[in-house]
Structure 1
Amino acid sequence: SVKKAIQLFRDDHYENMIVTGIPILKWQPVSGYHNVAEATAAVIRKLGFRDTIYLAPIPASILRDRTYSTAVVTRELFEQHPQWKKSFNIYSVGVHSRRSRLMFEKAFGDDYHIGIYADNDQSFDAVHWWKSSKGFRNVSNEFMAYLFVRFFFHPDIHQYIKQIDFGKYVDSIEKFRAKSIAEFTDPSKTPLDSLHFYTAYHDPVYFSANPTFRVKAGFEIDTTGEIFGMATNTNRKPNYRIYGHLHFMIGDTAQQLTVYQNVDFMNDPEYGKLLFLPFRDKTNEHSTYGAGRYLDISIPASDSIYLDFNKAYNPYCAYADRWSCPLVPFENHLEVSILAGEKKYRDSH
């Protein structure tokens, strides 16, 4: 069906290809793809398709009304490209094609003209569908589902957009954390001692992603201070300088944190673009690592930045005693609980 869709795209001279797909949950660590859209796009590339492929996957948290949610995500993609024509065709396989088109029409409204190319499901005879159990089940179930969508399904698109936006945010945090987990599982990169890695390994533990702890912070640059050796849990003192200050709110309480720049990495093509933000809060010694946690933030391009504590991570010292880690300066001790980011790894640290 993928080959047929590519051929249809070329024969009818379509301008844009949008690939949709539900999340891959069970086999994601093995497949390397987060959703069917990514996997399908990879197959299309391997078949020699060189035009731009636009992806419209739904978040992993969307478990109901996935076809309609897919339509909403696709509509958002069209809104991001106002130069696109308000006309498109859906390539779909199986008896649900008419219902899929109806779902898209409900999501897009009357301003769009939507067609459908319905390919046959080869697992049963579409002409004599009643002669097989799968054909009878699929067609009869789909008939009832179509009637439901036609007459009883009246979605509030704004509510779906809200759910999708939240799901996209959660997915972005999960992808961020997956990098740390991948590092943990690699014996050549893990911060764990080899004995612990092979005898008592478990993945890092996190708070559930919470947008409440993604806050907009005012940024005040201040690089007038002297370079200093930042204290660590060892005799090592890496060279840092204060780069500026962040002002933000947690709930109804004003907060301030100082951000630092590692002087030795200022010219590094990757790390030179980042600032170091160590902090402590009231969760330390309870649900999070006692010595505090870290954030890496991009150097702000303006006087504000979004500070996402859901990306807070533990220093390597949380996993093994052999590491040397910067200690959190006193001015970065918060008198609130940051219930976001990475939790304590084990009780002995």
Structure 2
Amino acid sequence: MLKNKFVVGIIFLVIIGIIGYTFLGEETTVSVDDYVAQIEKERKDKDNFYRNSDSSPIADKSNFKGLHYFAPDPTYKVEAKVIPYHSAASDKQVSVPMTDGSKETYEKYGFAEFTLPGESEAADLNVYRLLIYKHDKGLSILFRDATAPEETYGGGRYLDFKTEDVKDNKLLIDFNVAYNPYCAYNASYACPIPPKENTLPVRIEAGEKNFDK
């Protein structure tokens, strides 16, 4: 059984690191049109990789028609407050279940707290929290939301970061780059299952949708 690979620094982190209107308070010169164009380019590059690479999880590349996504929406790029996990907690090291029944050991790095577009900032119920895992390739958030399983992968979607993306206990989260793990395309891969606390009660209409096999 092959293990899912966290895609760090190849496609997704490029977008997170260089695109946007504001990064932790610093203005950038990237326009909405440029942001959308870059997202679409990265998606085309990923399709080409999945269609042509020997490392692709797609078994039948000849019939691969490309991945499906929500339209790029810059409002789903949010600044989160990172609450570090208590360093002395006995459960900081966590055994994460995989889809094949095995387990992988990760570390609880902290929690990302944020609000979503179109919701009242005054309502405490509109502040959402996601657990961040730390592993040998950086940081990841594994989550589900109310679009699953009808529109997005029922096993959850992933977001990857570098540890240095956390600055002053803040993290820029771009749900437009949320992606499916390899087991969404090929059952021979084993993927980590999102923790129960990372199930959002709202729709995240951004990022990758279900794959048509």
After superposition, give the CA deviation of every residue in 1:258-308 in whole Å (9 maximum; x if it has no partner).
Answer: 10011xx2xxxxx2xx20100000001111111110000222022212110
* 1:205 and 1:342 in contact (8 A); partners too: yes
Matched, 1:313 2:176: no
Provide the rounded CA distance (Å) in 1 between the counterparts of 2:94 and 2:81: 25
Matched, 1:275 2:148: no
Provide the rounded CA distance (Å) in 1 between the counterparts of 2:171 and 2:92: 25
Provide the rounded CA distance (Å) in 2 between the counterparts of 1:230 and 1:327: 7
Three-state SS of the structure 1 residue aligned to 2:47 is: helix
* 2:52 and 2:61 in contact (8 A); partners too: no
Structure 2 counterpart of 1:212, from 69, 75, 82: 75
Three-state SS of the structure 1 residue aligned to 2:131 is: strand
For residue 286 of structure 1, what is the amino acid of its counterpart? E
Matched, 1:241 2:107: yes
- State the partner residue of 1:192: 58
- State the partner residue of 1:326: 192
Three-state SS of the structure 2 residue aligned to 1:245 is: strand
* 2:85 and 2:92 in contact (8 A); partners too: no
- State the partner residue of 2:129: 256
- State the partner residue of 1:229: 95
Shift of 1:239: 1.2
Structure 2: which 5+ residue stretches go unaligned? 1-27, 120-125
- State the partner residue of 1:293: 157
Shift of 1:223: 5.1
For residue 323 of structure 1, what is the amino acid of its counterpart? Y
Shift of 1:257: 0.4
Structure 2 counterpart of 1:201, from 41, 49, 64: 64
Three-state SS of the structure 2 residue aligned to 1:168 is: helix
Q: Which has the higher helix share?
A: 1
For residue 284 of structure 1, what is the amino acid of its counterpart? A
Structure 1: which 5+ residue stretches go unaligned? 1-79, 81-160, 266-270
* 1:176 and 1:311 in contact (8 A); partners too: no
Q: Which has the higher strand share?
A: 2
- State the partner residue of 2:5: none
For residue 130 of structure 2, what is the amino acid of its counterpart? L
* 1:232 and 1:327 in contact (8 A); partners too: yes
Pairwise CA RMSD: 1.9
> Could you say which structure has the greater relative contact order, defined with CA pairs below 8 angstroms and 6 or more residues apart?
2
For residue 295 of structure 1, what is the amino acid of its counterpart? L
Provide the rounded CA distance (Å) in 1 between the counterparts of 2:65 and 2:101: 30
For residue 279 of structure 1, what is the amino acid of its counterpart? F
Alignment of 1:36-75 (within 5 A): none
Alignment of 1:10-21 (within 5 A): none
Structure 2 counterpart of 1:335, from 195, 198, 201: 201
For residue 342 of structure 1, what is the amino acid of its counterpart? E
* 2:82 and 2:111 in contact (8 A); partners too: yes
Name which one, 1 or 2, has greater alpha-carbon Rg: 1
| Percent of aligned positions that are identical | 33
The range that moved more, 316-325 or 217-226, is 217-226
Provide the rounded CA distance (Å) in 1 between the counterparts of 2:132 and 2:93: 13
- State the partner residue of 1:120: none
Shift of 1:187: 4.1
Provide the rounded CA distance (Å) in 1 between the counterparts of 2:127 and 2:93: 28
* 1:240 and 1:260 in contact (8 A); partners too: yes
Provide the rounded CA distance (Å) in 2 between the counterparts of 1:216 and 1:340: 16
Give the aligned length: 174
TM-score (structure 1 length as normaliser): 0.47
Shift of 1:216: 1.1
Provide the rounded CA distance (Å) in 2 between the counterparts of 1:226 and 1:286: 33
* 2:143 and 2:199 in contact (8 A); partners too: yes
For residue 217 of structure 1, what is the amino acid of its counterpart? A
Provide the rounded CA distance (Å) in 1 between the counterparts of 2:150 and 2:103: 28
For residue 227 of structure 1, what is the amino acid of its counterpart? Q
After superposition, give the CA deviation of every residue in 1:25-55 in whole Å (9 maximum; x if it has no partner).
Answer: xxxxxxxxxxxxxxxxxxxxxxxxxxxxxxx
